[in-house]
Amino acid sequence: MFIHVVQAGESLWQISNTYGVPISEIVRTNGLFNANRLVIGQSLVIPSEAATHTVRPGESLWSIAQIYSVSVADLAAANNISNPSLIYPGSVLTIPQKPRPTIDVNGYIYMLGLQAAPIVREVGENLTYLSPFAYLIKEDGSLQAIDDESAIQTARAEGAIPMMAITNFTATAKGENLASVVLNNPQLVEQLLTNVIQIMREKGYRGLNIDFENVLPADRTAYNNFLQRAVDRLHPEGYFVSTAVAPKTSGEQSGLLYEAHDYEAHGRIVDFVILMTYEWGYRKGPPQAISPINEIRKVLDYAVTLIPRNKIFLGFQIYARDWLIPHVPGQEAETFSNQEAVARALQYGAPIQFDSVAQSPFYRYTDAQGQGHEVWFEDARSAQAKFDLVKQYGLRGISYWALGYPFPQNWALLRDNFVIRKY
């Protein structure tokens, strides 16, 4: 597949002719709302069954290589071209295909109950694991139930492994004291793990994901000990254990979110680790890229020194945010799908820009009330940038937060870049 960025004056008919791909295929792959209206700066994924290109007048080997995101050298080699400056209109060139590495893909989902089934069914072919989010631990070692039956059943039908997620926080409570009570009491730890195993047996979960956040720095060792005990209890039962960790860039990084997350211990103890590489542009903060590539690289550079690469999942958020501007501290941004972000740009006629450092699209608009807005979201270019990181760092896979926000471009590109492992 190829990525095309819409220029001023372009129509879908022109783009379809350029690539020799039916308009209907472009519409379907990108989930376009209106085939007659495009936004300047909008990225389109262009599906291509045939790996050939017929040279048009004025084209060069370099311009063709740019279209298909391949190098001039590889394109020349695939067509036995000794002089790249000598190509002729009408010549049919073979486009070299890149090898696709095999990865694991996890998807968290917090839209549960019956609404989970269609969400999981739509993207299940792209998942190795599905993680309904989440069982909340309690101070007595019990767990607050969630309505996960539909999600689990649909995951199984799609060949995705159900992974139980447990956490200590909610939308209104950080959970640091709750975690402290449980982690520092050996009897509560044993009771919690006994309850986890019971639920896993009853519901058919095959692994556990531990997402304890805001753990007190003083409880770092207690948290590590809990992870070891979880592995000691679950591995003999045939279950795997994973964790989700804050995006750290050094061992000295301060803050409640970071200090108790010991990358070395997690990488040594559990089966795999999900890096939560998102939320730089958080709901109540100032407008900025939600998961900027330049910041993610810093996290990966640190993570790979302590966690085996074949245990690391790159976290990828698949939603957009709309901030009011000028920003007022504490004012909450609106969260919605990347599809809605494009629709909103279309509605207000806002050209989409692209931050080359963060590798993220954004735009600004003024609503009917005269209020300014700034929107940051994900598109085909930013998704490809993250997929390239997974390849460059040799990571085990990708973990999506969270399913339920339509983003058809992502799934098309994911399949084009990788073979998704199904156990």
The dihedral sign for the CA sequence 348, 351, 356, 357: negative
CA distance 377 to 143: 35
Q: Would the pLDDT of 388 be above 60?
A: yes
Confidence of residue 14 (pLDDT cuts 50, 70, 90): very high
Q: Percentage of residues in the chain with pLDDT exceeding 90?
A: 90
CA distance 15 to 193: 56
Confidence of residue 157 (pLDDT cuts 50, 70, 90): very high
Q: Would the pLDDT of 16 be above 60?
A: yes
Asked if 373 and 367 touch (Cβ cutoff 8 Å), the reply is yes
For 374, the 3-state DSSP assignment is strand
Asked if 53 and 93 touch (Cβ cutoff 8 Å), the reply is yes
Asked if 168 and 177 touch (Cβ cutoff 8 Å), the reply is no
Q: Would the pLDDT of 193 be above 90?
A: yes
Backbone angles phi, psi at 93, to 5 degrees: -100, 140
Specify the pLDDT at position 49: 64
Across the chain, mean pLDDT equals: 96
Mean pLDDT to the nearest integer, 20-45: 94
Specify the pLDDT at position 330: 87
Residue 253: CB partners within 8 Å, gap ≥ 6?
A: 259
What residues pair up with 104 in beta bridges, in sequence order? 397
For 256, the 3-state DSSP assignment is coil
Asked if 334 and 367 touch (Cβ cutoff 8 Å), the reply is no
CA distance 318 to 356: 19
Kindly report, residue by residue over 119-154, the tens digit of the pLDDT: 999 999 999 999 999 999 999 999 999 999 999 999
Q: Would the pLDDT of 34 be above 90?
A: no
Positions marked catalytic: 213
Mean pLDDT to the nearest integer, 36-58: 88
* Reported pTM: 0.91
CA distance 163 to 107: 10
b/e 203-234 (16+ beta carbons within 10 angstroms → b):
eebebbbbbbbbbbeebbebbbbbbebbbebb
List, in order of start, the domains of the chain with CATH numbers: 2-94 (3.10.350.10), 102-420 (3.20.20.80)
CA distances from 115 to 98, 167, 170, 399, 403 (A): 37, 22, 21, 21, 11
CA distance 40 to 199: 50
